[in-house]
């Protein structure tokens, strides 16, 4: 590439994925790329991805987003984890907290000490040693001090896309209004050369980013990339989404509530609540699913529930020729662990780090695809775990999950934990050891044995150590402001977090 020639990047489609890509590219590669985003006001976005994980904070720092400004613009609330209800058995409850749980040693992770305590008749619940879980249950939040929390956000996805658009355009991205009617390709290479709009205008580029959602207009309809179907492991294929009026102060966590044929979400924002029901249409009719969702709302719905259809899986390549797909154009894994926005952000990060400035990017694309597949399959396995490790047999759907096959990679993880209480986080794995332990034990997967080192501790010493952990957590939580107080402070214009 001639150093005086900018690479022309064309983003097809807006929404969260499109504007995240445009903002990050124009801010991080300023002077090296020209970014044009093409979208039509006539084409809506899915706009229901309202729950995130802590990686969003790192990405926001990466692209220069001010937290207080973002929270005000998107009516965001803070999120300390996910409450899972009715997943192992009807009436059961467990929490998947962000942050670290307990204290580990070089020899043995914390779960081994906790399991030894339980074997001796004390120790309580795993979440007793999570600062995030205890703060969430108490409705408290802080982002500063010696006891700062690991957290993410709940956000209004439509407002978030609008917020990002402002940031992108302010930084030099160009928006073109129009519906894409055709895609032009090079006669020999097959690379995409231009998008043709309904008006007749052509938008030419060197690199194209497909953010056209489930339509996958570039990566699939044009390039025929292919799709790996994961519905044998995750058979849910439908969802209704609706927003409702708030019925109280927002809690700092997401609720994922299993029902007879899938699960429901409840995501509290400052001004409303996001609700949805995910289900397998082979086991539950659309009418029954809609009625079940409406009956479960805490407040009046703000509009008629919106029906979404999806196919679980991912593109065989998310980078094909000179096109990279993001978001729903790349694939879909149900948002049980709030990973949808993360998958966009990590892909954009990798793209910036490995941007194709040269004429031949074959090796880079292969690396990008391999890394993307690992990330997607890791997320897939963690989602499948919630269904596979269950003792529910009260409906045909749950009985089918108990007998279904699971990916070999997940089966190996479950076997390792069941045999020796070993959980691990690989170098490129998203979910931490604490996350695997929280969900495995929450779903009723109990190890046959654990590391013997904690058994060498006198019972009184082990009990004192665990009690000290709990006392420190309780003291830290008691000093935190309430979640509602923190949000009110930001609304008044505060930029500096309160201290614990």
- Supply the pLDDT for residue 496: 47
Alpha-helix runs per DSSP H in 354-432: 362-388, 396-403, 408-420
Instruction: Please indicate, yes or no, if residue 171 is contained in any of the structural domains.
Output: yes
**317 and 305 inside one domain:** no
**218 and 251 inside one domain:** no
Write out pLDDT tens, residues 20-65. 999 999 999 999 999 999 999 887 665 565 999 999 999 999 999 9
> Is residue 145 very low, low, confident or very high in pLDDT (cuts 50, 70, 90)?
low
Q: Does residue 148 have a pLDDT over 90?
A: no
**161 and 275 inside one domain:** no
pTM for the structure as a whole: 0.95
Rounded distance, CA 147 to CA 473, Å?
A: 9
Q: Which two tokens stand for residue 271?
A: 């001004």
Write out pLDDT tens, residues 424-458. 999 999 999 999 999 999 999 999 999 999 999 99
**Placement of tokens 């149900």 in the chain:** 334
**160 and 256 inside one domain:** no
Instruction: Please indicate, yes or no, if residue 149 is contained in any of the structural domains.
Output: no
**299 and 391 inside one domain:** no
Instruction: Please indicate, yes or no, if residue 282 is contained in any of the structural domains.
Output: yes
Instruction: Please indicate, yes or no, if residue 437 is contained in any of the structural domains.
Output: yes
- Supply the pLDDT for residue 144: 75
Q: 156-168 b/e with 16+ CB inside 10 Å = b?
A: bbbbbbebbbebb
Instruction: Please indicate, yes or no, if residue 77 is contained in any of the structural domains.
Output: no
Catalytic-labelled residue, pool 7, 79, 221, 316: 79
- Supply the pLDDT for residue 419: 98
CATH at 190: 3.50.50.60
How many domains in the chain? 3
Instruction: Please indicate, yes or no, if residue 489 is contained in any of the structural domains.
Output: no
Q: Could you tell me which of 491, 49, 55, 51 has the C-alpha nearest to residue 268?
A: 51
Instruction: Please indicate, yes or no, if residue 167 is contained in any of the structural domains.
Output: yes
What is the domain range of residue 296?
A: 238-309
**135 and 270 inside one domain:** no
Rounded distance, CA 323 to CA 191, Å?
A: 8
**318 and 217 inside one domain:** yes
**114 and 183 inside one domain:** no
Q: Does residue 494 have a pLDDT over 60?
A: no
**394 and 455 inside one domain:** yes
Known catalytic residue at 221: no
C-alpha distance across the termini of the chain, in Å: 52
**218 and 318 inside one domain:** yes
Mean of all residue pLDDT scores within the chain: 95
Instruction: Please indicate, yes or no, if residue 18 is contained in any of the structural domains.
Output: yes
**460 and 391 inside one domain:** yes
**262 and 393 inside one domain:** no
């Amino acid at each position: 590439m001639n150093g005086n020639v900018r690479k022309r990047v064309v983003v097809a489609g807006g929404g969260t994925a499109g504007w995240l890509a445009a903002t990050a590219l124009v801010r991080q590669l300023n002077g090296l790329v020209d970014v044009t985003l093409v979208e039509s006001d006539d084409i809506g976005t899915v706009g229901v991805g309202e729950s995130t994980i802590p990686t969003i904070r790192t990405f926001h720092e990466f692209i220069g987003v001010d937290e207080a400004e973002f929270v005000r613009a998107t009516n965001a609330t803070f999120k300390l984890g996910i409450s899972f209800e009715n997943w192992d058995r009807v009436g059961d409850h467990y929490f998947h907290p962000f942050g670290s749980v307990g204290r580990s040693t070089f020899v043995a992770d914390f779960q081994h000490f906790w399991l030894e305590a339980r074997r001796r008749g004390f120790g309580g619940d795993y979440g007793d040693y999570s600062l995030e879980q205890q703060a969430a249950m108490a409705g408290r939040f802080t982002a500063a001090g010696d006891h700062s929390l690991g957290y993410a956000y709940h956000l209004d996805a439509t407002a978030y896309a609008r917020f990002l658009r402002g940031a992108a355009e302010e930084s030099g991205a160009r928006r073109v209004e129009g519906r894409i009617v055709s895609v032009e390709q090079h006669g020999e290479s097959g690379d995409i050369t231009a998008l043709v709009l309904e008006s007749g205008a052509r938008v030419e580029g060197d690199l194209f980013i497909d953010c056209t959602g489930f339509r996958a207009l570039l990566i699939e309809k044009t390039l025929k990339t292919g799709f790996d179907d994961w519905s044998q492991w995750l058979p849910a294929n439908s969802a209704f989404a609706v927003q409702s009026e708030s019925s109280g102060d927002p809690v700092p966590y997401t609720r994922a509530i299993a029902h007879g044929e899938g699960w429901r979400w409840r995501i509290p924002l400052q001004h409303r609540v996001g609700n949805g029901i995910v289900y397998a249409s082979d086991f539950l009719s659309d009418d029954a699913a809609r009625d079940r969702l409406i009956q479960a709302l805490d407040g009046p719905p703000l509009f008629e529930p919106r029906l979404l259809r999806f196919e679980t899986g991912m593109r065989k390549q998310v980078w094909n020729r000179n096109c990279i797909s993001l978001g729903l154009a790349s694939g879909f894994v149900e948002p049980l662990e709030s990973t949808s926005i993360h998958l966009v952000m990590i892909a954009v990060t990798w793209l910036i780090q490995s941007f194709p400035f040269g004429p031949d990017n074959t090796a880079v694309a292969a690396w990008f695809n391999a890394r993307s597949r690992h990330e997607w399959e890791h997320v897939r396995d963690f989602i499948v775990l919630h269904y596979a490790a269950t003792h529910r047999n009260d409906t045909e759907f749950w009985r089918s999950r108990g007998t279904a096959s699971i990916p070999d990679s997940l089966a190996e993880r479950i076997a390792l934990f069941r045999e020796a209480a070993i959980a691990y986080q690989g170098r490129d794995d998203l979910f931490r050891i604490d996350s695997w332990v929280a969900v495995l034990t929450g779903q009723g997967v109990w190890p046959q044995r654990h590391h013997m080192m904690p058994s060498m501790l006198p019972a009184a010493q082990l009990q004192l150590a665990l009690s000290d952990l709990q006392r420190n957590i309780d003291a830290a939580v008691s000093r935190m402001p309430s979640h509602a107080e923190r949000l009110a402070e930001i609304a008044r214009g505060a930029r500096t977090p309160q201290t614990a």
